[in-house]
Amino acid sequence: MTAINGGGMSGFLTRYGAAIAGLLVFAGFALASPVFLTAGNMAVVFKETAFLGILAIGFTLALTTAEIDLSVAEVASLAAVVTGALVHGGQAPWVAICAGLAVGTACGAANGIAVTVLRVPSLIATLGTAAIAKGLGFMLTQGVAFVGRWPSSFTGLARGSTMGLPNLVWWLGGVGLAAWVLVKWTRLGAHLVATGEADEAARLAGIRTLSMKRLALTLAGACAGLTAVLLASSLSSAAPGMANDHFLYAIAAVLLGMCMFEPGRPNIPGTIFAALTLKVLGNGLVLLGAEYYWQDIVLGAIILASVALSAAGMGRAPFVKKLNFRTGK
Amino acid sequence: MALLALRGIGMRYGAVQALTGIDLDVTEGEVLALCGDNGAGKSSLVKILSGAQAPSEGTLTLDGDATRFRGPQDALRRGVATIYQDLAVAPRLSIWQNVFLGSELTRPPFGLLDKRRMAEASRGYLARLAVTIADMDTPVERLSGGQRQAVAICRALRWDARIIIMDEPTAALGVKETAQVLDLIRRLHAEGRTVILVSHAMGDVVAVAQRVVVLKGGRKVADRPVQDSSGTLEAAELAQIIIRGAASGIPLDPFLKNRLI
């Protein structure tokens, strides 16, 4: 227990150890590969980090209320094909963008209702939503991708730069800042955290815990919708299942993020920094000539190690108890 | 006039009659102990007092007005705070987060949390209970059991509760921490607040309460001052009332007496 919030060297390492490891990985690749630090490669890493980061921020918000959302990636894929279909069909970009955001938000709201009204555990409910979203995505597209020269008013969302920084980095910064202010500085955020930390005590103190869970899951869906719009905009294409590669990455980012800054707790800065670390790792491995499948293996190892590393803190995290991640403690 | 009065309170759960015909007057400023063995009906009565449950029969009057609590939050707003044994605090949240749980302070212009003011106010509430803790950001799980109870009481003070119901506040505590909690109760009493202490610990009850109400089988079997003309109620005698439903005058089995007190 003392190791978590304790002072001294061990306290410092628990807080910042994983983040420092991330920086070491970065430095290692910078030394090992001449390409790694080039502007072009860094732009790729940051763009990838933005998609992953926004998706994982949604996941983090759900986890803040001790609910887990396994549907974020499939929901993002569905929202992306809806957006893509509309742009491709010649609809005004704003219509397509709103539709993509709406699909994500609606899926999140559906998760919220399944969990709080139908009382299906989120682990199961979001798995169901994921399957439905996947099926709908293929139904809408018949498995075919939308690719084309889309209007620059749409592709400009994610492409290009503003004030020297890629637009995607601005998106991640904006969403990250908004989510951080929400969780750390608003009453609503305090209620989200209290719901996740001590459901029953929060309810007895007058916090509407079920509404908080619904809200968090809805926001997770909205983040998935935004990720989808940005993905479609950036790639100028949409295909069923296009966001699925982000699924394991998002889980890993949130769990690794829980080893950073606020050990044992889902937190926004941790999630963003972990997303960057993971994308640096994936990119560096490719540059060093590792086969693609190594990314999955490393990702799996990171998921296991993050939970084990912050075990002392995680063991007490309410959602861990709920999922029975750690037993016999 | 009684601050809170119950008349003919009954509680049924299906076929089970948990409470029958409870009449109870809670006087402003007193420490009232609610005793009884497991299954005597204490929890049912606490749920009714705290607003967590509506009684099947009977009436409740607060300040002379017939009333019906719509939930714990409603009771809290009307000055009746309940500190539940296990659910009083969120362990990983800080002291100020716990004190202001569900009623956080914000400041203009953006309506963001006013953490400094909440921390300072929490420190003030703790000082009123003669508890000093250096850092208001400390997670409550790192406090002693007595300090944790103090934090829970501070939340009641934050609502300016007139009646504070404490459900087995010393059940999980050691000797020193128990003494600390009893001291907290004395300080609430000195502030003029009404405390309803639900407890198994007969020594604690006779040490801080002015009046004892005993339940058995869902009925009130005793309602007497701790101190009366014949002297102070002894823990042994209280144990006897709890077990037998009345002070029979027959001394308790010494074996039982030793186990109980």
Supply the DSSP string of A38-106, one letter for each residue: SHHHHHHHHHHHHHHHHHHHHHHHHHHTT---TTHHHHHHHHHHHHHHHHHTT--HHHHHHHHHHHHHH
User: What distance, in Å, lies between the first and last C-alpha atoms of chain B?
Assistant: 35
Pairs of residues, one from chain A and one from chain B, whose beta carbons lie less than 8 Å apart: 68
Residues of chain A with Cβ-Cβ distance to B90 below 8 Å are 194, 197-198, 201-202
**In terms of CATH architecture, what is A2-323?**
Orthogonal Bundle (1.10)
What pLDDT shows up at residue A204? 87
Dihedral (CA of B104, B109, B110, B115) sign: negative
State the pLDDT confidence band at A317, using cuts at 50, 70 and 90. Answer: low
What pLDDT shows up at residue A329? 29
Interval A238-247 mean pLDDT: 91
Dihedral (CA of A260, A261, A263, A268) sign: negative
Cis status, amide bond into A121, omega within 30 of 0: no
Would the CB atoms of B111 and A186 count as touching at under 8 Å? yes
Distances from the Cα of B167 to the Cαs of A119, B88, B99, B149, in angstroms?
A: 30, 10, 18, 11
Can you give the residue ranges of every domain in chain B? Answer: 4-260
Q: Is B59 on the interface with A (CB under 8 A)?
A: no
Residues of chain B with Cβ-Cβ distance to A194 below 8 Å are 90, 93, 97, 101-102
pLDDT at A322 over 70: no
Q: Is B102 on the interface with A (CB under 8 A)?
A: yes
CB B172 within 8 Å of CB B145:
yes
Phi, psi of B228 (to 5 degrees): -135, -170
In one letter, which amino acid is B215?
A: L
Q: Sort residue B127 into left (φ over 0), alpha (ψ -120 to 50) or beta.
A: alpha
- Select the highest-mean-pLDDT range: A71-75, A324-328, B8-12, B203-207: A71-75
Among chain A residues, the shortest Cα distance to B50 is held by A204
State the pLDDT confidence band at B195, using cuts at 50, 70 and 90. Answer: very high
A69 Cα to chain B: minimum distance (Å): 23
Can you give the residue ranges of every domain in chain A? Answer: 2-323
When comparing pLDDT for A271 and B261, which is higher?
A271
What pLDDT shows up at residue B231? 74
When comparing pLDDT for B15 and A5, which is higher?
B15
In degrees, to the nearest 5, what angle opens at C-alpha A102 toward C-alphas A96 and A105? Answer: 145
Would the CB atoms of B101 and A207 count as touching at under 8 Å? yes
Residues 6+ apart with CB under 8 A from B117: B105, B107
The predicted model scores a pTM of 0.88
By CB atoms closer than 10 A (0-12, 13-18, 19+), residue A144 is: exposed
CB A146 within 8 Å of CB A81:
yes
Among chain A residues, the shortest Cα distance to B114 is held by A185
Q: Which of B77, B84, B85, B101 to mutate to test the interface with A (most CBs of A within 10 A)?
A: B101
Residues 6+ apart with CB under 8 A from B73: A205, A206, B51, B102
Residues of chain B with Cβ-Cβ distance to A1 below 8 Å are 141-142
pLDDT at A198 over 70: yes
A123 Cα to chain B: minimum distance (Å): 23
CATH topology of domain B4-260: Rossmann fold (3.40.50)
Tokens of B231: 């002297």
Among chain B residues, the shortest Cα distance to A206 is held by B73
Interval A258-282 mean pLDDT: 91
Residues of chain A with Cβ-Cβ distance to B151 below 8 Å are none
CB A64 within 8 Å of CB A271:
no
Lowest-confidence pick of A41-50, A220-229, B246-255: B246-255
pLDDT at A1 over 70: no
Write the pLDDT tens digit of every residue in A83-123: 999 999 889 999 999 999 999 999 999 999 999 999 999 99
Would the CB atoms of A191 and B102 count as touching at under 8 Å? yes
Write the pLDDT tens digit of every residue in B61-92: 999 898 889 888 889 889 999 998 777 799 99
Would the CB atoms of A202 and B113 count as touching at under 8 Å? no
As a whole number of angstroms, the distance between CA A232 and CA A239 comes to 9
User: What distance, in Å, lies between the first and last C-alpha atoms of chain A?
Assistant: 13
What pLDDT shows up at residue B238? 81
As a whole number of angstroms, the distance between CA A27 and CA A166 comes to 22
pLDDT at A327 over 70: no
Write the pLDDT tens digit of every residue in B15-47: 898 999 999 999 999 999 999 888 888 889 999
State the pLDDT confidence band at A2, using cuts at 50, 70 and 90. Answer: very low
The residue to which tokens 């063991």 are assigned: A315
Lowest-confidence pick of A29-33, A311-315, B104-108, B222-226: A311-315
Write the pLDDT tens digit of every residue in A61-91: 999 999 999 999 999 999 999 999 999 988 9
Q: Is B92 on the interface with A (CB under 8 A)?
A: yes
As a whole number of angstroms, the distance between CA A276 and CA A269 comes to 11
B73 Cα to chain A: minimum distance (Å): 5
Phi, psi of A166 (to 5 degrees): -55, 140
Would the CB atoms of B102 and A186 count as touching at under 8 Å? no
Interval A212-225 mean pLDDT: 98
State the pLDDT confidence band at B259, using cuts at 50, 70 and 90. Answer: low
Q: Is B88 on the interface with A (CB under 8 A)?
A: yes
